[in-house]
Copies of this chain bind each other. A is one copy, B any other.
């Protein structure tokens, strides 16, 4: 039967998204979702949807939504692409900007989807190892046709210095995609780089700061030439009517989004302090999660013991990541439950 399937696809594993447990009793701190509901404007727009309009195809160009995004970022609609989640846009970039003999680069560790995207595209991966403390480290002679960079990075939560990013974009003879999924939780962003340079796209998502992971809406901002290439190869109607309408409403309520972000940052900073007090190594986070190394217990051991207590965090096997956990920032109550579980597990561990 395998004769029918492309060899590279047969050989590959596929990306494994974080667990989505059906049990509502689980404290879910594993996929960087927002613990708060989306803007009330989203609920309102969904309640007002005329179901009969669903008989018609959506606007294939997502014009109203792109105008709104252009207005937010003070650019032209021609500089904006909307996708079925930022994941769709990442996959489109691998098909628009890389020849079959080309190569796709990314930091290691970073979003674990990137090497899978290179496999799907059937081109070489050229990973760049981050420094010992996961800091920026880029060989001077580095070349790739497309470089996918999560900034602030996941799973480490660290933001790279903008000057380094700028210099890299100016030097690379290829497209740099700055995946700013977490940027609303950070001090600065690189959207100006994307609007100024012919080879840079900035990616944003409504999954994190807007609390709309279930809606699937990501967007890219950058030079009209790169954006036009994405339009040529996308599925005709890639963003459905409901998502277009709800995303427009969410983007229209910046005040609410900012409020959520401030609340999460406050919880993040408090949780970081408490974890440090418990002996964790906590990396400086510019995101809605913490990258931590637990004391005493192995990371995967702590992961399992938290899991047994219905608290789900994320553990990534692999040499560079196996000693760490990534913990999404939930509500203060959820973080208190996490800390209390950690204290109990630690005690048991110390005095068995």
**A residues apposed to B, CB below 8 Å:** 1-7, 9-10, 12-15, 17, 20, 28, 31, 33-38, 40, 42-43, 46-47, 49, 51-60, 84-85, 87-88, 91, 95-100, 113, 120, 122, 173-175, 198-199, 207, 211-216, 223, 225-226, 229, 231-233, 235-238, 240-243, 246
A232 lies within 8 A of B13 (CB) = yes
How many angstroms between the C-alpha atoms of A245 and B243 in the bound complex? 13
**Pairs across A and B, CB under 8 Å, 21 listed:** A4-B175, A5-B96, A6-B98, A9-B95, A9-B96, A9-B229, A17-B237, A36-B55, A37-B52, A37-B54, A38-B52, A40-B51, A46-B51, A54-B213, A54-B246, A57-B213, A91-B235, A113-B236, A240-B242, A242-B242, A242-B243
The residues of B that contact A5 with a CB separation of less than 8 Å are 96-97, 225-226, 229
Q: Top 6 A-B pairs ranked by shortest CB distance?
A: A37-B52, A214-B241, A43-B51, A14-B232, A216-B240, A54-B214
B240 touches A215 (CB 8 A): yes
> Chain B residues with Cβ under 8 A from A232's Cβ?
9, 12-14, 120
Q: What chain B residues lie within 8 Å of A7 (beta carbons)?
A: 99
Asked if B240 contacts A240 (CB within 8 A), the reply is yes
Which of B54, B113, B122 is the one whose CB lies under 8 Å from A38? Answer: B54
Identity of the chain B residue whose Cβ is nearest the Cβ of A200 in the assembled complex: B4
Q: From A226, which residue of chain B is reached at the shortest CB distance?
A: B4
Is A216 a contact partner of B58 (Cβ separation < 8 A)? yes
In the complex with contacts A9-B96, A51-B42, A231-B14 CB distance below 8 A = yes
Beyond A15-B236, A216-B238, list 15 extra A-B contacts (CB 8 Å).
Answer: A3-B173, A5-B226, A6-B98, A9-B95, A9-B96, A9-B229, A14-B231, A35-B55, A46-B49, A55-B214, A56-B214, A57-B213, A213-B237, A216-B237, A242-B246
The oligomer's copy count stands at 2
- In the docked arrangement, what's the CA distance between A191 and B95, Å? 32
| Cβ 8 A contact of A20, one of B34, B59, B173, B216 | B59
> Could you say which of A38, A84, A96, A225 has the most chain B C-beta atoms within 10 Å of its C-beta?
A84
Contact A97 B4 (CB under 8 A): yes
A175: nearest chain-B partner, CB-CB: B4
* Interchain CB contact under 8 A, A51 and B33: no
What is the bound-complex CA distance between A47 and B45, given in angstroms? 10
With most chain B CB atoms within 10 A of its CB, the pick from A84, A214, A237 is: A214
Q: Which chain B residue has the least Cβ–Cβ distance from A234?
A: B14
Asked if B54 contacts A215 (CB within 8 A), the reply is yes
